[in-house]
Structure 1
Amino acid sequence: MAFNSLKHAFFFLLIVLSTSHIANAGDPDIISDFILPEGVISVDGSFFTYTPFAKSLNAYEPDTFQVIKATMAQFPALNGQSVSYAILLFPIGTVNPPHTHPRSAELLFLLRGTLEVGFVDTTNKLYTQTLQAGDMFVFPKGLVHYQYSSDAKESSVAVSAFGSASAGTVSVPLAVFNTSIDNGILAKSFKTDIATIQKIKAGLAP
């Protein structure tokens, strides 16, 4: 009886530890209020302030789709805080190609225009929605997703929040066609010929 109770307690402890690990599978927790860059011993309020977004919100109209990021790389005060932002600028008819964020979900808030958005789950089911200004949409962590500015008269601007100071971005077209994966393997994978693969690669070249 005692052995069974001990076995059950041990099993319960394993479950708690495993679920705790899953729950904390994002950015690691820190044991201080914030993390200073190496060699820095004192900061003031400016360290916690990020201003580059101001330009994009003041009638800045790019010619192509652009992302302005506030991640740990651009804003060191985010180190250890498990948050980051990005502003997405969509001229009319532009697309943010299919991509993933391996370390975070994405919560998108549309400020202006119209966006067609979608993501694909692990069963290859596609979920789509047409967003209007003021709408929000969540892209689950690690899943392939995209956004398309479908308004024929107005460009679109969105803000995305992430639950990681460095969510990471893996562009599906670039990861597949702009790396050194053999053309023969790609041709077999996409059930086409090498010439077609080469044309796709040429179209994606910088």
Structure 2
Amino acid sequence: MSDDLNVKQDNNNGAMGRRALLGGSVVAVGAAALGGGLIGAAAASPATTTGAIGNEGALDSNLNNASHLFKLKAAAPTSFDGGYLQSSNEDNFPVLQGQKGSVVFIHLDVGGIREPHWHPTAWELNFIISGTAKWTILGTHPDGTYHNDVFEAEQGDLVFAPQGYFHYFENARADRPLDVLAVFNTSAGEPNDDIGIVGTLNSLPREVLAASFGIPVSAFANVPTDIKPVVITRHR
């Protein structure tokens, strides 16, 4: 036992002082750890307000004052050759501002195709309202082979497309349209969080595409150079 500890024991009445010294050290260490955690939690937590719980500052007033009702089917449609979209996002449904949520109603005519694409910042949960959808979701390849999930989804089914996974769906029926409700964990409007296959191909030099596919550069001569979002198209 060190002289320093002996002195401290004498000054604190022997064993009781020893326990107090040890206990004080434990309390000091624990307090430091707890204090650090509380400081970190305080830094990560929004300031306390009188508005809705769990939301940051300016959101509180918005959540309490903005309308909670949106007439999705009354929204102006964005039309394409093959179908149309009706969207609900922070731009037209203010209560969604900062909430990381949006909804899109997707209608595909007979022969309609949702352009192959992926969302770099959001997952996608799709509910089949009516009709039948043929889906492809391309996953990763940790075991050396791509995990490509191909299936049909019918009325009442849910389909989940993970964030960043390449996917598409099309109307699988030749006798009726397809209606799908897609929910995203992003407040961005469709197609702002959408990277489609046409834009992807046009972002790469033709010689790089040729090398990747192992075919002549001339094979890509007819790929359209218009890189605006296609979103919905149809079988030709």
TM-score norm. by structure 2 comes to 0.62
Unaligned runs of 5+ in 2: 1-28, 45-53, 231-236
Question: What pairs up with 1:113-124 in 2 under 5 angstroms?
Answer: 113-123=131-141, 124=146
RMSD: 3.5
Structure 2 CA distance, aligned partners of 1:35 and 1:192? 56
Structure 1 CA distance, aligned partners of 2:220 and 2:60? 46
Equivalent in the alignment of 2:116 = 98
Residue 182 in structure 1 maps to residue 200 in structure 2 = no
Contact 2:82-2:111 at 8 Å conserved across structures = no
Equivalent in the alignment of 2:179 = 157
Aligned length, in residue pairs: 173
- 2:149 is aligned, of 127, 144, 148, to 127
Q: Which amino acid aligns with 1:173?
A: V
Q: Which amino acid aligns with 1:135?
A: D
**Which has the higher Rg, Structure 1 or Structure 2?**
2
Contact 1:62-1:89 at 8 Å conserved across structures = no
- 1:137 is aligned, of 153, 159, 168, to 159
Structure 1 CA distance, aligned partners of 2:127 and 2:167? 15
Structure 1 CA distance, aligned partners of 2:75 and 2:213? 42
Q: Quick one: structure 1 residues 204 and 164, their matched pair in 2 at CA, closer, same or farther if it must change by over 3 Å?
A: closer
Question: What pairs up with 1:21-100 in 2 under 5 angstroms?
Answer: 30-32=55-57, 34=59, 44-46=65-67, 48-54=68-74, 63-100=81-118
Unaligned runs of 5+ in 1: 1-5, 22-28, 38-42
SS in 2 for 1:165: coil
Q: Quick one: structure 1 residues 115 and 174, their matched pair in 2 at CA, closer, same or farther if it must change by over 3 Å?
A: same
Equivalent in the alignment of 1:146 = 168
Structure 2 CA distance, aligned partners of 1:98 and 1:122? 16
1:79, distance to aligned residue in structure 2 (A): 1.6
User: Which one is further off, 71-80 or 111-120?
Assistant: 71-80
1:78-110 per-residue CA deviation (whole Å, 9 max, x = no partner) reads 121111101111001211121111111111001
1:164, distance to aligned residue in structure 2 (A): 1.7
Aligned identity (percent) is 19
Structure 1 CA distance, aligned partners of 2:60 and 2:188? 15
